[in-house]
Structure formats: structure tokens, C-alpha cells
Structure 1
């Protein structure tokens, strides 16, 4: 699904944009410049993960850093390139949500329920533990 969303951007000749950037770009558009910490909290991610994502978005020319309220702080802001495409991103987000709703109506088991069920199963036993258990059963080659 992410690859198909990416194709939407390619079809419109938007270079460097990844589907995983859209939530943060939309949040910056709605709220204005934010520190990485503020942006991370607003999208429910860790500071470390957002720092890496901001770096990738900066490389893609979608965000820049600007001085914050004091000399030590920086805020992440949209570039002119991002501002030109943000309305398309908002429309794509709405279209994606509508497409997911349509797809779920065709399935006997909603994807959102699958995600909840997988989360519950992994809370009972992590994916790591499941893999390690299987590896313990395999005799190493000699």
C-alpha cells in the first residue's frame, strides 16, 4: 500500500517524498514550526525516530531548521517545496482514508481489527521471542 501511495507522488513528479513523511508535514503545516521534541510528541513517535525522519525530510528538501525561542533551540519548518505540495498531501491523506474504508468493506475481516489482534498477540509473546523459540528448535549445521 505504501508503494502505491508512493506511486501517486511519482505520478505527480514529486521527488524525495515518502508516504512516511506525510503526517509530520501535515502537522507542521497545521501547527507551524516545532522543535523535534514537540513534533515527535504530536505524532506519537520517539525523539530519536523523529530526528532521523527530519534529517531525511531535510535531505529531500521538505523541511529546514530555523532558530527557536533561544539561541540553543531549533525548530523544524516547511520549505517552499513542501508548502507547494501540502494541499495535495492533505487531499491524498483523505483519499487514502477513503480507499482504506472502501477496501475494508470488501474484506470479511477489517484491517484495523487485524492490527489490534496482532498487537494483542505480540503483547502476549513478542515477535523476538517467537523467532528465538523457533531458532532454539533448529539444530545448527556442522
Structure 2
């Protein structure tokens, strides 16, 4: 039987763990402040709706550079948590997503957390010898030269 590839450490598993740990700390920040029902993936859409007003799911997805499917799922979760509601758009075929009063009350703290998180990440970037933001930009440039799919295929046996 061939060697189990999942038995050896993944090259980027530490990065995934790091990002998950950071996300967990932000979740703890919300919990310490008694904020329930708010997940990290909700914050961007809530802030965007707070600044732009009612938007369709497509507009929100495009504005935040995620797929329509992902935003549709997020909006469904936001609705379940009582943070957004849908209203009829300019024509009867479209639905617009708007904030509830509960979401509007949370916005100042959500925006403050967002700004503080971005500053804390800039501080971390400045503290290490090679900034993660630089590494990401360098990786994006390398992938622009040669897609990851092509790199992956190069390491597979011929089909």
C-alpha cells in the first residue's frame, strides 16, 4: 500500500492554523462583549450594507469579491440571526437586503473591531522580518506567471 500523504505535515497547515487562531480570537472578542449570533463572515456584509444601504445579493457579492452562492448562504444566516431582512427592490423581481435595527446597533463596534484588527495585522506585519502581506503579494505574482493548477498537474503522473 502506498504511503498515506495525509500522514506527513502539510506545507501550509501552520498558516491555516494561524488564520483559524486569529479568527477564534476575534470570536472571543465578540463573546467578551456579549455579542451573540455574529460570525466573522457576517461583519463585511453588515458594514457594507451600513454604508451603502440596501443592496441585492449579487451587488453585495460583487462588492465584497465573493461568489453569489457564498453571499446567498451568508445572507440566509444573517436573516436567521435577525441582522438583515429582504425587501422588494425597484421592480418586483428583485430583492434588496437591508439591516435590521439590531444590526445597526452593532455597527459601531463591528467597524471599530474591523479597524483595530487591520491595525493589529499591520503591526504584526511590521514586527516580523518578512511581512505576510509581502509574501501574499509575491505568491500572487508567482501564480500570475504560472497558475497553481498547472503547477499541480506537473506533479501528477500522466493520465
TM-score scaled to structure 2, two decimals?
Answer: 0.75
Q: CA deviation at 1:125?
A: 4.7
Alpha-carbon displacement from aligned partner over 1:74-123 (angstroms, at most 9, x marks no partner): 10011122111100011001111111111111111112111112223334
CA distance in 2, matches of 1:18, 1:118: 28
Q: 1:12 aligns with which of 33, 38, 44?
A: 33
1:29-44 equivalent positions in 2, closer than 5 A: 29-44=50-65
Give 5+ residue unaligned stretches, structure 2. 1-21
In 1, the alpha carbon distance for the partners of 2:80 and 2:88 equals 19
Q: Normalising by structure 1, report the TM-score.
A: 0.83
Structure having greater relative contact order (Cα 8 Å, sep ≥ 6): 1
- The Cα RMSD (Å) is 2.0
Distance 2:80 2:155 in 1: 40
Unaligned 5+ runs, structure 1? 138-142
Aligned residue in 2 for 1:121: 142
Aligned residues: 137
Equivalent residue, structure 1, for 2:47: 26
What is the CA–CA distance in structure 2 between the aligned matches of 1:108 and 1:14, rounded to whole Å? 36
Which shifted more, 123-132 or 96-105? 123-132
Decide which moves more: 111-120 or 90-99.
111-120
TM-fit CA distance, 1:124:
4.4
